[in-house]
Amino acid sequence: MQTYTYSEARQKLAFLLDKAKREGTVLIKRKDGSLFEVKACSEKKSPLNVKGININIEKDEILDILKEIRKR
């Protein structure tokens, strides 16, 4: 993993953020020797949050289908 100086990080911030997103982390080192790790945060989404589809079916048709299924 490559380490960047503080000055390089200031000049190439957008590049380093993209690199952190691709590779996971980026290291930045200050003159005093302090070392920092920049990581991309992932959005926490529910696996149940799925995009719906439009099937052009009325509410009453859905209810009829459910009633039929429950009779079985």
User: Given this model, what pLDDT does residue 70 score?
Assistant: 95
pLDDT tens digits for range 30-69 = 999 999 999 988 778 888 888 888 888 999 999 999 999 9
Which residue from 27, 45, 43 is spatially nearest to 35, judged by alpha carbons? Answer: 27
| Total domain count, the chain | 1
- What is the CB-side half-sphere exposure of residue 34 using CA atoms within 13 A? 4
Q: What phi, psi does 49 have (nearest 5°)?
A: -85, 85
Per-residue confidence (pLDDT) for residue 63, from 0 to 100: 94
**The pLDDT value given to residue 9:** 93
Q: Is residue 15 part of a domain?
A: yes
Task: With respect to residue 46, please indicate whether it lies within any of the assigned structural domains.
Answer: no
Q: What is the pTM of this model?
A: 0.55
In a domain, 10, yes or no: yes
Question: What's residue 41's pLDDT?
Answer: 86
For residues 38 and 17, the answer to whether their CB atoms sit within 8 Å is yes
* pLDDT attached to residue 27: 95
Among 48, 2, 52, 7, which Cα is nearest to 27's? 2
**Position 1 pLDDT exceeds 80:** no
33 part of a folded domain = yes
